[in-house]
Chain A
Amino acid sequence: SQTIHQWPATLVQPVGSPLSLECTVEGTSNPNLYWYRQAAGRGLQLLFYSVGIGQISSEVPQNLSASRPQDRQFILSSKKLLLSDSGFYLCAWNWGRGVNIQYFGAGTRLSVL
């Protein structure tokens, strides 16, 4: 069966520090991968998605970047965090082009102080 791992679960970082959040999927190959951000009490906003290694689509101009160095690995990064980067970050995956459901990781709660 497929599983998605996301870490760390919680992160507190000072303004101006770098960021690296990692997401990996097991049990499948060539998944579509997604990074979402959720502000407190709000819906999810898509940040990046990837349909293959090295293929990244950005949805919202921002202080963040994403990379996919391996087939089942998706990394969210920042060189210098802003206060506005605080939030709950969720990684998700699905497969193929049909109705395939997106499955979500457990999320990372990021606090930038």
Chain B
Amino acid sequence: AQTVTQSQPEMSVQEAETVTLSCTYDTSESDYYLFWYKQPPSRQMILVIRQEAYKQQNATENRFSVNFQKAAKSFSLKISDSQLGDAAMYFCAYRSGYWETSGSRLTFGEGTQLTVNP
């Protein structure tokens, strides 16, 4: 079974600074997808960014980018120019690319609570 580990329960960053959230995963599969979701105090789950394992290029969405290290099974999220609205719980998630055995279900890490200080 796949596992996702987020080793930083809490992180803080000053407004306008850059912060990196760590995520590692364990899998024997070669085809999979990785995601970062954000959960603000409203508890609505919002997709931040996604990465297909077969793509070597790191995904980028505006101020959010990932550092995907497939061999190391690492998938960190970098938030640049942090804003107060970035304060939330961030979850790393794994999805198998093998529909027949896993469907499209997500395996989540335990989350990192990000605080943004003004």
Contacts and interface: CB of A to CB of B under 8 A. Distances in A.
A49 interface: yes
Nearest to A39: B110
Contact of B103 (A42, A49, A101, A106): A49
Interface in B66-93: 89, 91
B106 interface: yes
Interface in A69-113: 88, 90, 92, 94, 97, 99-104, 106-107, 109
Contacts, number: 55
Given A42-B111, A101-B35, A104-B45, A32 B91 contact: no
Interface residues of A, number: 27
Contacts of A38: 43
A46 B44 contact: no
Interface residues of B, number: 23
Contact of B109 (A43, A49, A92, A103): A43
Contacts of B15: none
26 contacts: A41-B89, A41-B113, A42-B110, A43-B4, A43-B108, A43-B109, A43-B111, A44-B108, A46-B105, A49-B103, A49-B105, A51-B103, A59-B105, A90-B45, A92-B45, A99-B52, A102-B47, A102-B104, A102-B106, A104-B45, A106-B42, A106-B43, A106-B44, A107-B43, A107-B44, A109-B43
8 smallest A-B Cβ distances: which pairs? A104-B45, A43-B108, A97-B99, A43-B110, A44-B108, A46-B105, A107-B43, A32-B104
Interface of A: 32, 34, 38, 41-46, 49, 51, 57, 59, 88, 90, 92, 94, 97, 99-104, 106-107, 109
Interface of B: 4, 33, 35, 42-45, 47, 50, 52, 89, 91, 99, 103-111, 113
